Amino acid sequence: MKMPLECPFCSGPMINDFAHVTGVQQKRCDKQITHNVQLIARKGDNDTVNIIRIRLGPYRTIEWNLGNQICAVTYVKYPVKKTVDLLPFFMPDLTDYNSLMEKVNTYLLFL
């Protein structure tokens, strides 16, 4: 998947997110209250998306590492407690946000 210019869910503009990590290009769509998606690609990797990250709530994030075929849900409770649950890997369908969230929530029921 190539780094898109528009959000795959709402067709809004993907905003460059200038991270503190060098060699990485990040784009995000967080203007909508219905979703918060971030796409990450290594620079010089032909703009191929390596990581897809979607916020599930104030303390939960799901992340697909496409190169390593890992799907993980991260829970962060401040100040320091962080847990990670691995889900069976599946390629996220970024054309339908609601269907994707239903699939993720179904997997989370069985953790």
Per-residue confidence band for 83, with pLDDT thresholds at 50, 70 and 90:
confident
Q: What pLDDT sits at residue 110?
A: 86
Q: Note the pLDDT tens digit of each residue in 17-75.
A: 776 667 788 888 866 777 888 898 887 777 889 999 999 988 899 999 999 999 999 99
Q: Residue 104 belongs to what H/E stretch?
A: helix 97-109
Helix (H/G/I), strand (E/B), else coil: 109 = helix
Residue 73: enclosing H or E segment and its boundaries?
strand 70-77
Which residue is listed with tokens 């460059």? Answer: 16
CA dihedral 103, 104, 108, 111 (to 10 degrees): 90
The mean per-residue pLDDT over the stretch 77-105 comes to: 89
Confidence of residue 104 (pLDDT cuts 50, 70, 90): very high
Check pLDDT > 80 for residue 107: yes
